[in-house]
Amino acid sequence: MLPRLLVALTTLLSLAYVVSAIPANVDRLYPIGPRDAGRKCGNDLTPEDVSEKEKAFASLLAQNKAAEKVTAVAGNFTIPVIFNVVYASMNISDGYVPDSQVQAQIDVMNQDYNGTGLSFQLQNITRTLNATWFNNAAPNVDVQTDMKNALRQGDVKTLNIYTVGFTSSSALGLLGYSTFPADYAGDPMNDGVVILYSSLPGGSEASFNLGRTSTHEVGHWVGLYHPFQGGCDGPGDYVDDTPAEAIPAAGCPIGRDTCSSPGLDPVQNYMDYSNDACMNNFTPGQIARLQSQIQTYRGIQL
């Protein structure tokens, strides 16, 4: 059980990191890895954001269930993937990742989503030289809108992944971020997942180069929240079988227990912040949620 102060501090910090540089004192909470503040995903939602999204979801889901548009899962769906490689020079350290790493990333996603009813098929790799996008793309930044407007292909069922460098001060330290299924209708061109190029399998980002950043961000793309969303109290990530967690995990703290509610922290869950090698599961509750999210918002029939 961690002191409430720490919980409050972490909530504040996690809200702040998208819009400003990481406060130095965050290091204390994430004392691992070359990315000195550990895994950082740009998907931060306030409890108000989440509760609004969930009210709308509950009501749509009820309507769709009544209309039998959301059904018990019977089969599998293959998601077409457009892989947009954005680079600053034709050097791998400037984002020019080889096709073999892209295919290896798709393979990791197929392993990690095995049993969810989803699989992924590479449809196209685009390669674009643009140092501005490579360096500065980040959540809610105009150049990432330019990038997506120029590159996005496909429809609501198509997964667009963008690899960039996150080198600018507002993006520095990010491993990735994603839109949620419910966001598509209001802003279709913004839909997709943006990840650090060196997080691909075989990439140079130590502790985060087995491809699990993509697995995690695609988890948001299919409607999952972080298990530490909301901390120990309240509905958390809206999944019953992911025990509540006060703060993100870092490294691989198996056995950690930050909330008095039942269950150890789900540090090996793909939606936590642990190292790539630590992560190995989605829970049945997460699988049920992602299936109803994509049936509701992406028109995907399983």
Ligand X SMILES: *[C@@H]1O[C@H](CO)[C@@H](O)[C@H](O)[C@H]1NC(C)=O
Nearer of residues 16 and 143 to ligand X, judged by Cβ? 143
93, interface contact from Zn ion, ligand X, none, CB < 5-8 Å by kind: ligand X
At closest approach, how far in Å is the CB of 227 from Zn ion? 10
* 68 catalytic per annotation: no
Give the relative orientation of helices 284-297 and 47-66 as an angle to the nearest 10 degrees: 70
Burial of 3 (0-12, 13-18, 19+ CB in 10 A): exposed
| Interaction residues for ligand X, span 82-111 (CB under 6 A) | 91, 93, 110-111
| Interaction residues for ligand X, span 37-56 (CB under 6 A) | none
Place of tokens 């966001």: 183
CA pair distance 146, 52, nearest whole angstrom: 28
Q: Does 222 bind Zn ion (CB under 5 A)?
A: no
Nearer of residues 25 and 91 to ligand X, judged by Cβ? 91
41, interface contact from Zn ion, ligand X, none, CB < 5-8 Å by kind: Zn ion
- HSE of 276, CA atoms in CB hemisphere, 13 A: 24
Phi, psi of 129 (to 5 degrees): -85, 110
| Interaction residues for ligand X, span 144-163 (CB under 6 A) | 146, 150
Nearer of residues 63 and 132 to ligand X, judged by Cβ? 132
**Nearby residues of 174 by Cβ (< 8 Å), 6 or more positions away:** 40, 41, 42, 138, 166, 196
Residues forming contacts to ligand X in the complex (CB under 6 A) are: 75-76, 91, 93, 110-111, 114, 123-124, 126, 130, 132-133, 143, 146, 150
Positions marked catalytic: 217
